[in-house]
Structure 1
Amino acid sequence: MIVQTLSGNPLTPSSERGASIVRSASPSHPSATTGVYIGAINRVEESAAYFPASPEGPHLTTTFTTFCVGDIFQEEPGPARGMCHIIITCRSLLWSVLSVLVSLAEISACLSPRWLSGNTGGSDSFIFPSSSPLSVHRRTTLGLYNRCLMRHGTIEEELCGPYAASFWELASTFWQATMIFLGVGVLILTMVALLAPISLCWQSIFHKSIFNICGLLQAIAGLFLILGMLLYPAGWGSERVENICGRTSGPYQVGACSLGWPFYVAIGGIVGTFACALLSTQAEQATSGDDVQDEIDKGNVLICLL
């Protein structure tokens, strides 16, 4: 820290400890100023030098005094700033684990080919040609962009693969929108899942609570996931779904098909996402409470309050 003060009157330094350079001009030079500089060092040194006045110029006296400012700007004792404290509480640990699980649940649901399950009697050569052993099969499962076919035989064999070669070949425009909303939601949840373990050591980002930031992101991700799940049933009226679920299928009517586990996992993931957003506030309070601060003041790096 450096403090500079300017004055038009001469200063005579006393026994006060301070790092100062005093320059005083003679009364014949009223425009001369006095500069006082104060700096912090580790030890105390004092020296003085006197320069007598010369015929050509005014009288100039320079006095150097150096001192340690620790006694003046005394800070309260406490932990070193920037130190990483690993803080583990029941609520913060629960939030971290649940955030990771919710992210994994939504990822597995989006990648699964078992959103719809139905019985079919014909072959679909989009993936398998009519000459394939799978040209006669009894069950088909359909996902957002992929599907699985199961054939008859003593050993039932299931082959899975994408039914769409590109994004624009998905079963319905509604499913295209579903993929976009679910993709954005899953991306946000993945970011939060990566930040969750970091929150055990760093509880703030840019002077903002990491729990509050992640809770806000989780709420936004939950909204994207809800939009995606609302648009998904609107695509049940597509031709590809009718080939599996029958002509009775339509928008928000599943027909002869049944909903698979990814659909319910995705809904459960949405509930868990909003639960994490609410739990983040509790995690913030738990890691900034008086008990945690007491442990920090004691100098503990690992703080476990379970």
Structure 2
Amino acid sequence: MISFVSYIWILITALVAATCAFSLLQPFWIIHPDSIHSFGVYIYCKGSGSGGASTDLTNRMCSFYGGQLSVVNIPSGAWQATFLLFSTGCAILLASLILGMATMLMAVDWSRKLSGTMTYIQTSAVLILTSALLVYPLGMTSPFFHYYCGSAAEVYNAGQCSMGWSYMLAIMGTALSIFCPILWNLRDFKSEHDDYPFNL
């Protein structure tokens, strides 16, 4: 029988994995004051008018750094590390969700063998995601970032730019991921409602 806590674990893990993947795909980790230029981990947006200086949102054009998806085209070593770490953390969370759901349907012996491993897998995902978010602001010292956000920009200081909603969403998703390994360890807890016939 799958407990109520297990359902909560499935919901939280799925939500965190989706949030992380969605925020990674967005080019709004840092936003320029003109609201046209914005920068993500591996994609950025700029005005498509003459010189890329258009202030019309309808003329915004987004593309990969360097024109194609490649880690080496990302303009900062810190952002390259963030891309690799954050995408790895998202992939581990998704894998843990699939493995965890499969474990709940396995025989008791196999479930017990994989139980401890799942805790380590999800804890490692949390640590990897956290590391990515801490590394990302180190890229604010790059020449690319100084060109768009001013020479006053430094580590954990975006200069004339500001942190965007994608980065905040990534922070919230990572904060929520802390509960995944905790809920996994509590999944065998059964409430008084778990005996109702609508439960599996």
TM-score range, shorter chain: 0.7 to 0.9
1:196 CA displacement: 4.1
Counterpart selection for 1:157 from 59, 78, 83: 59
Letter in 2 for 1:175: W
Match of 1:254 in 2: 158
1:139 correspondence with 2:41: no
Query: Could you give the per-residue CA deviations for residues 8-32 of structure 1, whole angstroms, max 9, x where no partner exists?
Result: xxxxxxxxxxxxxxxxxxxxxxxxx
Asked whether the equivalents of residues 212 and 284 of structure 1 are also in contact (C-alpha less than 8 Å), the reply is: no
SS at match of 1:181: helix
| Counterparts of 2:109 and 2:28, CA distance in 1 | 39
TM-score in terms of structure 1 length: 0.56
> Aligned in 2, Cα 1:291/1:201: closer, same or farther, shift over 3 Å?
farther
Counterpart selection for 1:242 from 146, 163, 170: 146
Query: Could you give the per-residue CA deviations for residues 17-75 of structure 1, whole angstroms, max 9, x where no partner exists?
Result: xxxxxxxxxxxxxxxxxxxxxxxxxxxxxxxxxxxxxxxxxxxxxxxxxxxxxxxxxxx
1:213 CA displacement: 3.2
User: Hey, which of these two has a bigger chunk of helix by percent?
Assistant: 2
| Counterparts of 2:113 and 2:32, CA distance in 1 | 48
Letter in 2 for 1:143: G
Match of 2:19 in 1: 105
1:97 CA displacement: 0.7
Match of 1:20 in 2: none
Match of 2:81 in 1: 177
| Counterparts of 1:107 and 1:169, CA distance in 2 | 20
Asked whether the equivalents of residues 119 and 244 of structure 1 are also in contact (C-alpha less than 8 Å), the reply is: no
Match of 2:199 in 1: 304
| Counterparts of 2:150 and 2:84, CA distance in 1 | 27
Q: CA RMSD in A?
A: 2.7
Match of 1:62 in 2: none
SS at match of 2:152: coil
> Aligned in 2, Cα 1:291/1:114: closer, same or farther, shift over 3 Å?
closer
1:285 CA displacement: 3.4
Asked whether the equivalents of residues 100 and 196 of structure 1 are also in contact (C-alpha less than 8 Å), the reply is: no
1:94 CA displacement: 0.4
1:117 correspondence with 2:21: no
Percent of residue pairs identical: 24
Structure 1: segments with no counterpart, 5+ residues: 1-86, 121-137, 296-301
| Counterparts of 1:101 and 1:205, CA distance in 2 | 29
TM-score in terms of structure 2 length: 0.82
Query: Could you give the per-residue CA deviations for residues 51-109 of structure 1, whole angstroms, max 9, x where no partner exists?
Result: xxxxxxxxxxxxxxxxxxxxxxxxxxxxxxxxxxxx33221100011111100111111
SS at match of 1:304: coil
Which one has a bigger Cα radius of gyration? 1
SS at match of 2:199: strand
Asked whether the equivalents of residues 31 and 164 of structure 2 are also in contact (C-alpha less than 8 Å), the reply is: yes
1:180 CA displacement: 2.0
| Counterparts of 2:169 and 2:37, CA distance in 1 | 20
Aligned residues: 191
| Counterparts of 1:197 and 1:99, CA distance in 2 | 11
1:218 CA displacement: 1.0
